[in-house]
Each structure stands twice: as structure tokens, then as C-alpha cells.
Homo-oligomer: A and B are copies of this chain.
Amino acid sequence: MSEILVVGSLAYDSIKTPSGSAPRALGGSANYFSLAASLFSKVRVVGVVGDDYSSTDRELLQKRGVDLSGMIVQPGKTFHWEGAYEGDMNEAITLKTELNVFETFDPVLPAHYKDSKFVFLANISPDLQGKVLDQCEKPLLVGMDTMNFWISSKLDDLKKTLKRVDIALINEGEAMMLTGAGNAIEAAPRVCELGPKALVIKRGEYGFVLYTKDEGFFILPAFPITKVIDPTGAGDTFAGAFFGYLASLGRAPTTADLKQACVRGTVVASFTIQDFSVKALADVTPAKVEDRYKSYRQVVHLA
């Protein structure tokens, strides 16, 4: 098993969905990622929080064995995102983004993080993603996420980061926006032309598309969930379980490994959406993942 370094946001989210609302609940890509990845591997977090960040929220990760020595506390408030889902549960409407302490975030890796073999650059500014990568010594696998905001505002920096990663995990709309393609299938090889050897396109309730330069497409649906309470963090959960699974193997992944990692991603993400914030995800255990993994195999099994 190898250790995973993740850099991303540690946040409070205020979320409204057709099922209700959760004001100032724990969120942020690094939190979802770490909770999911730590089901499989050791995780090291780089991020910043304000002095309002609660010790309970910190302990949630610590109980999963997550190393928080790279989590900096700064005077001020923690990053706050306010969003809503209406009708289309696959897309959040952003109502407010308060960067707060995140605005001046300048990631510095603790010395013992630098040998991390698995590195995930969650959705933050692409130049900060680059800065983190500069401090990593010899990673075996580097992955990244991004969002529409960076595609439109920092495309050049984003392309520089894309050249330096092995695998990108982005959502369908982002893949189309980044390449000008009309659908995920057309977009996938074009994203890989920008650098990554492999790409995962996250499709929300429709699952994922894995594309590798060597073996082409691997596509499967999401685990069927009757009642989606709050889709926030599903993509970060996917990435966390995906990386956690790969790091647990401790080797440079084969395409077969990437396929299995995608399935872990969609399986663990299916828990996240069953409650607000990280509530359901925090209760997941490796045994629950294994059970749902078996059910998932039945759902997609073509004799």
C-alpha cells in the first residue's frame, strides 16, 4: 500500500436540494476525497481552513487515519460554498462562493509528504496544482480534477498541469467544454491529446467513461440509487475511492486496475448521495463497499 497526497478545498457548504437543506455542513473536495480514499489507503491532506473550522470535522478524518499535518489553520473563515439542486440532480447551481482563507492559499508540503507515490490534485487553481506537483519528488501516479471556472479563466495554466498528470478525472460538461466536442465519446481522446494517458469522465447518475490511449473505452453506469438526497461531493468521492483503490495496490496501475478503480469510485459515490454533506460517506466501511460492489457486479453483469 502506498500513501496518497491530496490537495483540495476544505469547506463548509450550504446546500438546498428537493429533499431539504443543510446549512454550513462539512464539504470541500479534499474532505470527500479523503473520506473515500481512506477506506482503502493512507491519505495525506494539503489544504487550508479558517479558525471557525470545528474540531469534530477535523477528527472525522483523523479517525480514518488521515494525516492532517498539511492542513493549515489561518485567521479568518473557512471556504464557504452555497449551492442548490433543482430538477436536474446532476448539476448544482452555485448561489455563492466565499473563498475566505482559501483566497490566499499557497500550498506548502510538509517534508514527510514529498515522497507520496500517489498524488491527486483536486479542483483548485491550476497554478496551485502545479505548485504542489513541483514539491513532489517521484510520484508513481498523478491525477487531477478541474472545473468550468478554470477552463474559461485559466486555460493556459490548466493545459500546463494537464501535460504533467497521468490521469484526469473530470465531469462530462467539463470534458466537452475543454475540447469543444459534442459528447463524452468525442471528448475523451481529445483530452488525452492534452497530456493524460487516461481519462475518467464522470457522468453523475449515468456512471463513468474510462478512456485510455492504449485500450480505448470502458463504460459503465452508476450504482442504482432510488432516492438521491444530495449529489454534492459525488465526483470527489469517486476520485477518492478511485485513487484509494489504486494506492492500495501500490503499483503503477494497469488498465485492468483502472477499470476496477472506476467501479470502486462509482460504488463509494453511491453512498455519498444518499444523505446531505459527508454524513452517509462518513458511515461507510470497507465491508459496506464490498457488499455494494458485489451487488453492482450483478447489475452490470452480461452473461
Please state the number of chain copies in the assembly: 2
Chain B residue at minimum C-beta to C-beta distance from A87: B182
Once the chains are docked, how many angstroms separate the CA of A219 from the CA of B219? Answer: 11
| Cβ contact of A182, chosen from B186, B219, B228, B259, cutoff 8 A | B228
A206 part of interface (Cβ distance < 8 Å): yes
Once the chains are docked, how many angstroms separate the CA of A184 from the CA of B256? Answer: 29
B182 near A220 with CB under 8 A, answer no
A105 part of interface (Cβ distance < 8 Å): no
Chain B residue numbers with a CB within 8 Å of A55 are none
* Minimum distance in angstroms from A86 CB to a CB of chain B: 11
Q: Which of A183, A228, A259 has the most CB of B within 10 A?
A: A183
| Cβ contact of A183, chosen from B89, B184, B209, cutoff 8 A | B89
A150 part of interface (Cβ distance < 8 Å): no
What bracket does the count of chain A residues touching chain B fall in?
20 to 34
Once the chains are docked, how many angstroms separate the CA of A299 from the CA of B186? Answer: 15
A302 part of interface (Cβ distance < 8 Å): yes
Q: Which of A209, A224, A263 has the most CB of B within 10 A?
A: A224
Chain B residue numbers with a CB within 8 Å of A259 are 302-303
Chain B residue numbers with a CB within 8 Å of A183 are 89, 205, 226, 228
What are 20 A-B residue pairs whose CB atoms fall within 8 Å in the complex?
Answer: A18-B182, A89-B182, A89-B183, A183-B205, A183-B226, A184-B205, A185-B225, A186-B226, A186-B227, A207-B221, A216-B299, A218-B300, A218-B301, A219-B300, A220-B220, A259-B303, A260-B302, A263-B302, A300-B300, A300-B302
Once the chains are docked, how many angstroms separate the CA of A225 from the CA of B18? Answer: 34
Q: Which of A280-303 contact B (CB under 8 A)?
A: 297, 299-303
* Minimum distance in angstroms from A202 CB to a CB of chain B: 13
Once the chains are docked, how many angstroms separate the CA of A89 from the CA of B172? Answer: 14
Chain B residue numbers with a CB within 8 Å of A225 are 185
Extra pairs beyond A184-B205, A185-B224, A217-B224 (9, CB < 8 Å): A89-B182, A185-B226, A209-B224, A218-B299, A219-B221, A220-B220, A260-B302, A297-B302, A300-B300
Given A206-B206, A220-B302, A221-B221: A227 touches B182 (CB 8 Å cut-off) = yes
Chain B residue numbers with a CB within 8 Å of A216 are 299
